[in-house]
């Protein structure tokens, strides 16, 4: 098994716990073959600090310092583990400010020589949608309703894919985390916006993150939902697994269940990433035993 989205650690992320070394040790103990580290990109404006970060006195400078330290430590551990666990160094993008994030994300990738990116959208109208239910409600109000928020979210994902061109698209239907249970998140308008995002993923050879944090956070399903898995399958877009771990104890969480979930929805193989002789390579891995 493997995970290409996760490895957030308390060393470099305020809302995670444990050290990066402990996280990697957990991946080795779980006998994962490839473990992708994708710490959050530092946000560049104080208005995007999370409430929990503000409460602990974080500022933008500290986010950047911790990210630099993450870059160094992930490189050290990648080299240290060579031969026993394949570690990929990446980071998870932030699409804020919506008007100007592209250059900063590409610059981080270039400057730190990361192996790959997970492209994620965590903000709609520059308001965080997965941090707290309260902020999610503010984002819904700013969009004049849940359906327009979902449409806007998928359009932001599409734009992010077309501009950043990440190897992996993170948790494709993240807004469902705090959406009212039972709400219709698959209306015609939402579906059209989601289809456009999936087409963009296909056009840019992006892999979708089958992200087990949905289960971990109490949802009845992972990200993305079955209807989106079906759309991706129809479009010929591939999947990989992400545990989205924010603690060593979460490393590998739900991966066996995720494998069965994909099989149940018509996905018979995943596309993994790995480091070959000439850099990053894609590897088809069958899911059937």
Task: Kindly list the residues in this chain that would bind Zn ion in the complex (CB under 5 A).
Answer: 8, 120, 170
Nearer to Zn ion, 192 or 217 (CB): 217
**Considering only CA atoms, which of 134, 135, 176 is closest in space to residue 153?**
176
How near is the Cβ of 289 to Zn ion at its closest, in Å?
Answer: 30
Q: Which is nearer to Zn ion, 151 or 173 (CB)?
A: 173
> Shortest distance, CB of residue 200 to Zn ion, whole angstroms?
18
Looking at beta carbons only, is 120 or 225 nearer to Zn ion?
120
Q: How far is the CB of 173 from Zn ion (least distance, A)?
A: 12
Min dist CB 38 to Zn ion, Å, is 8
Q: Residue written as tokens 């950043």? A: 164
Q: How many CA atoms lie within 13 A of 239 on its CB side?
A: 32
- State whether the Cα torsion 190-195-196-197 is positive or negative: positive
What end-to-end distance do the CA atoms of the chain give, in Å? 12
In whole angstroms, what is the distance from residue 11 CA to residue 177 CA? Answer: 25
CB 110 within 8 A of CB 118: no
Length of the chain measured in residues: 289
In contact, 248 and 236? CB cutoff 8 Å: no
For 84-191, strand residue ranges (E) read: 86-92, 116-119, 123-124, 127-128, 168-169
In the complex, the smallest distance separating the C-beta of residue 191 from Zn ion, rounded to whole angstroms, is 23
- In the bound state with Zn ion, the residue whose beta carbon lies nearer, of 50 and 227, is 50
Residue 10 vs 283, nearer CB to Zn ion:
10
Cβ distance to Zn ion smaller for residue 40 or 152: 40
**Smallest distance from Zn ion to CB 105, Å:** 14
Q: Rounded to whole angstroms, how far apart are CA atoms 260 and 272? A: 17
Q: Is 252 left (phi over 0), alpha (psi -120 to 50) or beta?
A: left
Residue placing its CB nearer to Zn ion in the complex, 169 or 196: 169
Could you tell me the smallest distance in angstroms from the CB atom of residue 8 to Zn ion? 5
Pairing, β 86-92 against β 34-40: parallel
Cα→Cα distances 136→93, 132, 225, Å: 19, 6, 19
């Amino acid at each position: 098994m493997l995970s290409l989205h996760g490895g957030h650690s308390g060393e470099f992320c305020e809302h995670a716990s444990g050290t990066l070394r402990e996280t990697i040790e957990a991946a080795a103990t779980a006998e994962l073959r490839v473990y992708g580290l994708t710490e959050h990109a530092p946000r560049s404006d104080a208005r995007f600090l999370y409430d929990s970060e503000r409460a602990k006195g974080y500022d933008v400078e500290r986010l950047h310092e911790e990210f630099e330290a993450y870059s160094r430590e992930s490189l050290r551990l990648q080299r240290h583990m060579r031969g026993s666990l394949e570690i990929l160094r990446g980071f998870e993008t932030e699409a804020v400010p919506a008007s100007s994030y592209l250059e900063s994300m590409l610059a981080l990738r270039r400057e730190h020589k990361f192996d790959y990116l997970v492209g994620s959208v965590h903000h709609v109208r520059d308001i965080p949608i997965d941090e707290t239910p309260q902020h999610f409600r503010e984002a819904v109000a700013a969009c004049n309703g849940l359906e327009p928020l979902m449409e806007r979210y998928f359009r932001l994902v599409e734009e992010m894919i077309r501009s950043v061109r990440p190897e992996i698209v993170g948790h494709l239907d993240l807004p469902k985390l705090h959406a009212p249970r039972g709400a219709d998140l698959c209306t015609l308008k939402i579906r059209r916006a989601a289809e456009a995002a999936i087409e963009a993923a296909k056009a840019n050879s992006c892999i979708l993150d089958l992200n087990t944090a949905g289960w971990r956070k109490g949802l009845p399903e992972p990200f993305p939902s079955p209807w989106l898995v079906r759309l991706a399958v129809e479009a010929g877009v591939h999947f990989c697994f992400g545990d989205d771990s924010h603690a060593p104890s979460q490393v590998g969480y739900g991966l066996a269940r995720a494998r069965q979930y994909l099989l149940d929805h018509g996905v018979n193989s995943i596309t993994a990433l790995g480091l070959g002789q000439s850099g990053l390579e894609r590897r088809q891995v069958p899911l059937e035993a």
